[in-house]
Structure 1
Amino acid sequence: MDKSPAGIAIAGAPDGILRYVNDAALLIRGGTRETIVNGVGINKYVASWQLLDLEGNPLKTDEVPLSRAILYGETSSRDLIIRRTDNNDRIVQANAAPIKNQEGKIAAGIVVFNDITERKQYEEALASSEKEFRQLAEAMPQIVWITRPDGWNIYFNQQWVDYTGLTLEESYGHGWNIPFHPEDRQRAWDAWQNATQHNATYSLECRLRRADGAYRWWLIRGVPLRGEDGKILKWFGTCTDIDDIKQAEVALRESQSKLETALASMTDAVFISDAAGKFIELNDAFASFHRFESKEACLKNLDDYPDILEVFMDNGERAPLEMWAVPRALRGETATNAVYTLRRKDTGETWKASYSFAPIRNTQREIIGSVVVGRDITEIVKAEEERFKLENQLHQIQKIESIGQLAGGVAHDFNNMLNVILGYGNIILEKTRADDPLHECAQEIVDAGNRSATITRQLLAFARKQTIAPKVLDLNETIEKMLRMLRRLIGENIQLNWHPSSVWPVFIDPSQLDQILTNLCVNARDAIGDVGKIIIETETTTFDEIYCSQHPGSIPGEFALLSVSDNGIGMDAHTVSKIFEPFFTTKELSKGTGLGLATVYGIIKQNNGFINVYSEPGQGTTFKIYLPRHTKQITTGQKKEEDAIMHGRGEIILVVEDEASILKLASRILTSLGYVALTANSPQEAVKLAKENEKRIDLLITDVIMPEMNGRDLADVLLALHPNLKCLFMSGYTSTVIAEKGVLEEGTHFIQKPFSARDLGVKVTEVLKSQL
Structure 2
Amino acid sequence: MDYHKIFRHIPQAMVVVSPNYIILAATDEYLRLTKRTIEQISGKHFLLEAFPDRVLTYEENPVRKSLDKTLQSKKIDFLDVIRYDLPNPDAGDGEYDVRYWEASHTPVLNAEGRVEYIIQQTSDVTERELAKLALSESEEKFRFMAEAMPQLIFTTDATGELTYLNKRWEIYTSFPLHELLQEGWQKVIHPDDLPAVSAKWEEAFHNKANIQIELRKRDKHGVFRWHLCRTQPMEDEEGNIIMWVGSSTDIHDTRVMVQELLETNEQMSLLSDQVQHAYEKAESERKMLETLLVQAPAMFCILKGPEHRFELINERYQQLYPNKEMLHKPLAEAVPEIVEQGFIELLDEVYNTGKAYVAEEVPIMLDKNNTGELEETYFTFSYHPIFESDKVSGILAFGYEVTEQVKYRKKLRELGRV
1:82 paired residue number: 85
Q: TM-score, normalised by structure 1?
A: 0.31
- 1:165 CA displacement: 1.4
- 1:229 CA displacement: 8.4
- 1:159 CA displacement: 1.7
- The one-character-per-residue Cα deviations of 1:268-298 (angstroms, maximum 9, x if unpaired) are xxxxx964439xxxxxxxxxxxxxxxxxxxx
Q: Which amino acid aligns with 1:277?
A: P
* 1:113 aligned counterpart, secondary structure: strand
- The one-character-per-residue Cα deviations of 1:620-668 (angstroms, maximum 9, x if unpaired) are xxxxxxxxxxxxxxxxxxxxxxxxxxxxxxxxxxxxxxxxxxxxxxxxx
Q: Which amino acid aligns with 1:14?
A: P
2:47 paired residue number: 45
2:37 paired residue number: 32
* 1:161 aligned counterpart, secondary structure: helix
- 1:241 CA displacement: 0.7
Q: Say whether the 8 Å CA contact 1:195–1:202 is kept in structure 2.
A: yes
- 1:99 CA displacement: 4.0
- 1:208 CA displacement: 1.8
RCO comparison, higher one (Cα < 8 Å, 6+): 2
Matches of 2:230 and 2:10, distance apart in 1 = 48
Q: Say whether the 8 Å CA contact 1:148–1:235 is kept in structure 2.
A: yes
Name the CA shift for 1:155/1:208 in 2 (closer, same or farther; >3 Å).
same
Q: Which amino acid aligns with 2:30?
A: A
Q: Say whether the 8 Å CA contact 1:83–1:89 is kept in structure 2.
A: yes
* 2:101 aligned counterpart, secondary structure: strand
* 1:247 aligned counterpart, secondary structure: helix
- 1:199 CA displacement: 5.1
2:122 paired residue number: 113
2:70 paired residue number: 70
2:138 paired residue number: 129
1:92 paired residue number: 100
- 1:31 CA displacement: 1.1
2:247 is the alignment partner of 1:242: no
Q: Say whether the 8 Å CA contact 1:90–1:115 is kept in structure 2.
A: no
* 2:99 aligned counterpart, secondary structure: strand
Q: Which amino acid aligns with 1:126?
A: L
* 1:132 aligned counterpart, secondary structure: helix
Q: Say whether the 8 Å CA contact 1:96–1:111 is kept in structure 2.
A: yes
- 1:371 CA displacement: 7.0
- 1:132 CA displacement: 3.4
- The correspondence for 2:20, drawn from 3, 9, 15, is 15
- 1:244 CA displacement: 1.3
1:251 paired residue number: 260
Q: Say whether the 8 Å CA contact 2:102–2:125 is kept in structure 1.
A: no
Q: Which amino acid aligns with 1:31?
A: R
- The one-character-per-residue Cα deviations of 1:418-454 (angstroms, maximum 9, x if unpaired) are xxxxxxxxxxxxxxxxxxxxxxxxxxxxxxxxxxxxx
Matches of 1:105 and 1:152, distance apart in 2 = 60
- 1:242 CA displacement: 0.9
Matches of 2:9 and 2:185, distance apart in 1 = 52
- The correspondence for 1:217, drawn from 214, 217, 226, is 226
Matches of 1:59 and 1:227, distance apart in 2 = 48
Matches of 1:195 and 1:21, distance apart in 2 = 61
Q: Which amino acid aligns with 2:31?
A: L
Q: Say whether the 8 Å CA contact 2:152–2:168 is kept in structure 1.
A: yes
Gaps of 5+ in 2: 1-6, 276-301, 315-325, 331-350, 352-385, 391-418
* 1:75 aligned counterpart, secondary structure: strand
1:277 paired residue number: 306
- The one-character-per-residue Cα deviations of 1:371-391 (angstroms, maximum 9, x if unpaired) are 7659xxxxxxxxxxxxxxxxx
Q: Say whether the 8 Å CA contact 2:14–2:119 is kept in structure 1.
A: yes
* 2:220 aligned counterpart, secondary structure: coil
1:205 paired residue number: 214
Matches of 2:129 and 2:107, distance apart in 1 = 30
**1:449-468 paired onto structure 2 within 5 Å:** none
**1:107-506 paired onto structure 2 within 5 Å:** 108-148=117-157, 151=160, 153-172=162-181, 176-177=185-186, 179-185=188-194, 187-188=196-197, 191-192=200-201, 195=204, 200-223=209-232, 235-252=244-261, 254-255=263-264, 258=267, 275-277=304-306, 361-362=312-313, 365-366=327-328
Q: Which amino acid aligns with 1:164?
A: T
Q: TM-score, normalised by structure 2?
A: 0.52
Matches of 2:26 and 2:183, distance apart in 1 = 52
Gaps of 5+ in 1: 267-272, 279-329, 332-358, 375-772
**1:501-520 paired onto structure 2 within 5 Å:** none
Q: Say whether the 8 Å CA contact 1:84–1:90 is kept in structure 2.
A: no
Q: Say whether the 8 Å CA contact 2:188–2:217 is kept in structure 1.
A: yes
- The one-character-per-residue Cα deviations of 1:579-627 (angstroms, maximum 9, x if unpaired) are xxxxxxxxxxxxxxxxxxxxxxxxxxxxxxxxxxxxxxxxxxxxxxxxx
Q: Say whether the 8 Å CA contact 2:8–2:28 is kept in structure 1.
A: yes
Q: Which amino acid aligns with 2:67?
A: S
- 1:164 CA displacement: 1.5
Q: Say whether the 8 Å CA contact 1:83–1:90 is kept in structure 2.
A: yes
Name the CA shift for 1:182/1:34 in 2 (closer, same or farther; >3 Å).
farther
- 1:79 CA displacement: 1.7
- 1:160 CA displacement: 1.4
Q: Say whether the 8 Å CA contact 2:156–2:243 is kept in structure 1.
A: yes
- 1:30 CA displacement: 1.1
- The one-character-per-residue Cα deviations of 1:120-148 (angstroms, maximum 9, x if unpaired) are 33333334334433443343322233455
Equivalenced residues, count:
283
Q: Say whether the 8 Å CA contact 2:200–2:211 is kept in structure 1.
A: yes
- 1:173 CA displacement: 6.8
**1:590-739 paired onto structure 2 within 5 Å:** none
Matches of 1:175 and 1:2, distance apart in 2 = 65
Task: Flag the structure with larger Rg.
Answer: 1
Matches of 1:229 and 1:35, distance apart in 2 = 52
Q: Say whether the 8 Å CA contact 1:98–1:107 is kept in structure 2.
A: no
Q: Which amino acid aligns with 2:328?
A: E
* 1:16 aligned counterpart, secondary structure: coil
Q: Say whether the 8 Å CA contact 1:16–1:70 is kept in structure 2.
A: no
- 1:218 CA displacement: 1.4
Q: Say whether the 8 Å CA contact 2:108–2:119 is kept in structure 1.
A: no
Matches of 1:166 and 1:80, distance apart in 2 = 43
Name the CA shift for 1:114/1:243 in 2 (closer, same or farther; >3 Å).
farther
- 1:167 CA displacement: 2.0
Matches of 2:16 and 2:257, distance apart in 1 = 77
Name the CA shift for 1:66/1:362 in 2 (closer, same or farther; >3 Å).
closer
Matches of 2:191 and 2:152, distance apart in 1 = 20
* 1:277 aligned counterpart, secondary structure: coil
Matches of 2:190 and 2:113, distance apart in 1 = 69
Q: Say whether the 8 Å CA contact 1:13–1:109 is kept in structure 2.
A: yes
Matches of 2:273 and 2:119, distance apart in 1 = 93
- 1:163 CA displacement: 0.7
Matches of 1:234 and 1:4, distance apart in 2 = 46
Name the CA shift for 1:258/1:176 in 2 (closer, same or farther; >3 Å).
same
- 1:256 CA displacement: 5.8
- 1:202 CA displacement: 4.0
* 2:193 aligned counterpart, secondary structure: helix
Name the CA shift for 1:67/1:265 in 2 (closer, same or farther; >3 Å).
farther
